[in-house]
Amino acid sequence: QVQLVESGGGLVQAGDSLRLSCAASGLTFSRYLMAWFRQPPGKEREFVAAINWSGGITHYADSVKGRFSISRDNAKNTVYLQMNSLKPDDTAVYYCARGPPYIPTEPQRPSTYDYWGQGTQVTVSS
């Protein structure tokens, strides 16, 4: 069964840090673009960060730039999202997704990605 499984979410206070992990089973994402999206309560899904297959190219939403860092370990078939200086506005369900084996023109669009995880909840209290 092909699946992506996110973990590492939880309840934290503003200013704290969390590290999310996304582990793949039944598929590999070596040479594939990987990304994190999030969906705040009552809002649409939004782009957070993306990383190319080698890890040499990254892209971030303006809202998280300088605070979040995406990385990957292809040998472990895992992608990470290090989240620092968390704010209440970061509260959302976070999803990882697999994209194409190249840099797309619109990496921020959900339609770019073909596999999605079930999501992990991140709640940041003030």
Angstrom distance (rounded) from CA 107 to CA 99: 8
Looking from the CA of 12 toward its CB, the CA atoms found within 13 Å total 21
Residue 96 binned pLDDT confidence (cut-offs 50, 70, 90): very high
pLDDT at 71 (0 to 100): 96
pLDDT at 53 (0 to 100): 81
Buried b (16+ CB within 10 A) or exposed e, 72-86: bebeebbbbbebeeb
Mean of pLDDT values over 77-106 = 94
- Tell me the pLDDT tens digit for each residue of 28-50: 677 889 999 999 999 999 999 99
- Tell me the pLDDT tens digit for each residue of 64-87: 999 999 999 988 989 999 999 999
Any idea what DSSP says for residue 124?
E
